[in-house]
Amino acid sequence: MRRPSTDTKGSVRDQEYAPSMSSAVPGIVWPAIPDTRNAAAFALLAQFEMSQWWSAEALQRHQLHQATALINYAAQNVPFYRGRLSDVAGRDCAVTMEEWRRIPLLTRAEIQEAGETLSSARPLKAHGDYYVEQTSGSTGEPVSVRQNSVTGRLHTAFTLRDHIWHRRRFGGKLAVVRRLSDKVLKSMEAGNIARWAPGFPSGPMVFFEVTDSVGDALDWIVDEAPDYLITYPTYYRALLAESERIGVRPEKVSQVLTFGEVVPDDLRVRSEDIWGARLVDMYSAQEIGVIALECPDHDHYLVQSEGVLLEVLDEDGNPCAPGEVGRVVVTPLHNFATPMIRYFIGDYAEAGEPCASGRGLPVIRRFFGRSRNMLTLPSGGKIWVAVNDCGLNQIDAVRQFQIVQQMDLSIILKLVIDRPLTAEESVIAQRAMVSATGHEFDVHVEFVDAIPRQPGGKLEDVLSELDG
């Protein structure tokens, strides 16, 4: 599919793809006049179309002005921040980046311990009613934060930007395979048909519970014949394996949208080879919302600077240069209900060079897992495990696997198989860690019926008990 050409300011000149908004006024078809519910999303999209082409310096300047407003509010109305922000709060001019970096990082443990003291004592009525988002607690440190109507509108606008960037046809059907919330289940029971692009005349959105069997999910996807699918990377890998095994694939899926987990490079290749579908990832967090989207023109992520201030920092707290890997520290700029200022989310990322498209949004070349997804070597060093290079994916009998490092550095390799392994396959499994890491580990293979997903629906290929 050909992408739209742009001039130096990013205005679309190629009209091959131009999604039409849905007008709420009878008799008015174009330009669309939105209802009050969708007006905010449309207004934000119009601003995003301009701001994505600003320089990095202009974006950062606007971010720091918004961050200053958040700081001043938090210092006065959020008990946790009283004293913590005394050096930078209460000023009319924006904080500088040097001053910003002196603010202590916020950890998950601190969020847990702070409890209600991290939420506003005087919520702003103009920000709308708040609701609570809770992480699944996969790190052993579940956190609950308050969101509000403002953060919800931003999430909708960023999701629409992703659809527009990647030229999805809004009239198509979107299939969702994930952990389903009570709200979604009740809506399904009532027979309500969800639409996946608010404010646009979009097609239906259908749902399937991720804890059900992969075989049933594949049958459902084939029957539904969606144009797009959204699910977790590990579940998609299992779908592709099942599809390849039985020789059945959905015919219409052109893009698979992934979220919630790290995407290995080989999964993108398998997606193209087996389903003929392009994989497009979104980096987000339940307690934050959308953080970064894949660039529509290049193989990297673009930070959504209009909503978050993201930093990639080395162990000394200094910004990482392009090509360096560091800690992801993120600040949602508009959540005044539970301000999370300089929140170390626990993930690691590789900083990238400025985008060649001309967009000023910061570039992340790739996201890694959290420290709990790294193995600890006997020397004390840590390494990321290239699970796609360990050979387990090439064993036909293996339907699912998980690598768990114990406190004594030994490895438990959990395997879900549909037949006994051959002698050769057993050797590959036993030597998987050497293949993936180049290091000898004490490996114990366990055959299990299933590897349960976390409460939020995620599944991690590699998990270290040394890092909680």
Q: Which long-range contacts (CB under 8 A, 24 or more apart) does 111-117 make?
A: 111/143, 111/145, 111/340, 111/343, 112/141, 112/142, 112/143, 114/80, 117/78, 117/79, 117/80
Give dist(CA 315, CA 300) in Å, integer.
23
> What is 377-467's CATH topology?
GMP Synthetase; Chain A, domain 3 (3.30.300)
Q: Where are the domains of the chain?
A: 377-467
**pLDDT tens per residue across span 402-435:** 889 999 999 999 998 989 999 999 988 888 888 7
Of the candidates 303, 447, 345, 413, the one whose C-alpha atom is nearest the C-alpha of residue 138 is 345
Helical spans, DSSP H, in 3-107: 36-51, 56-77, 97-100
- Residue 183: the pLDDT is 77
Name every residue whose Cβ is closer than 8 Å to that of residue 96 and which is 6 or more positions away in sequence: 64
CA dihedral 335, 337, 339, 340 (to 10 degrees): -80
Cα 125 to its chain centre, rounded Å, is 29
Q: Which residues pair with 325 in a beta bridge?
A: 350
- Per-residue pLDDT tens, the chain, 468 aa: give them: 334 444 444 444 445 677 877 888 888 878 888 888 788 888 999 999 999 999 999 999 999 999 999 999 999 999 999 999 999 999 889 999 999 999 999 998 899 899 999 999 888 999 988 888 877 554 445 678 999 889 999 999 999 999 999 999 999 999 999 988 777 777 777 777 788 998 888 899 999 998 888 899 999 999 999 999 999 998 998 899 999 999 999 999 999 999 988 898 889 999 999 999 999 999 999 899 999 999 999 999 999 999 999 999 999 999 999 999 999 999 999 999 999 999 999 899 999 999 999 999 999 999 987 766 778 888 887 777 766 667 787 788 888 888 899 999 999 999 989 899 999 999 888 888 887 777 888 989 999 998 887 766 777 778 888 875
Cα–Cα dist 196/193, whole Å:
10
> Around Cβ 57, how many Cβ atoms within 10 Å?
8
**What's the rounded Cα separation, in Å, for the pair 38 and 330?**
27
Measured distance between the N- and C-terminal CA atoms of the chain, rounded to whole angstroms: 44
**Rounded CA separation 449/460 (Å):** 17
* Closest-CA residue to 131 (of 123, 142, 139, 122): 123
How confident is the model over 27-53, as pLDDT tens digits? Answer: 887 888 888 878 888 899 999 999 999
pLDDT for residue 366: 94
